[in-house]
Copies of this chain bind each other. A is one copy, B any other.
């Protein structure tokens, strides 16, 4: 997606270790007109696989998932990282390691809200090692739901997540793919 690529080239900053900071427009302060157009882009990419539900994980994925779901007219289910009284004790869960925080967290969804009739589109802001997507795919498998696609805003092409998902036959589309050269410079792939 040309607009997202240009936004990354203009506004992203890179920290040592390949951490890409896009907090000015994607996952802290959110550029809503841009993210609305990202939602429309995901709609155009995935409308033919006819998702009935969009699944993401808190917190950065939620806004992107909601602005995408509006085009499809379907619900969003977001996996939670903490147990609270808002979620029943009966959950599907999977462990996910955060690349940016360096911690492992169980993400979970209430069993009442995901089932075998769901055709699930997974949406997230980043794909790095693929841990979050793999966790959400595993949760769908536990529920008997079908994963019809995975839509990612920014894929780190220099980490193995994208390759792993594509080799597993997942219908993955990333709107921007980043490359890292030997000098630590990041470029957006054409």
A positions within 8 Å CB-CB of B: 15, 19, 21, 23-24, 27-33, 35-36, 58-60, 62-63, 65-67, 69-70, 73-78, 80, 82, 84-87, 98, 100-101, 109-110, 112-113
> Which residues of B are found within 8 Å of A80, using beta-carbon distances?
28, 59
> Which residues of B are found within 8 Å of A62, using beta-carbon distances?
59, 62-63, 66
Q: List 24 A-B contacts (CB under 8 A).
A: A27-B86, A28-B86, A28-B87, A28-B109, A28-B110, A29-B77, A30-B69, A30-B75, A30-B78, A32-B74, A33-B70, A35-B66, A58-B59, A59-B59, A59-B62, A62-B66, A63-B63, A63-B65, A66-B66, A67-B67, A67-B70, A70-B70, A84-B101, A85-B101
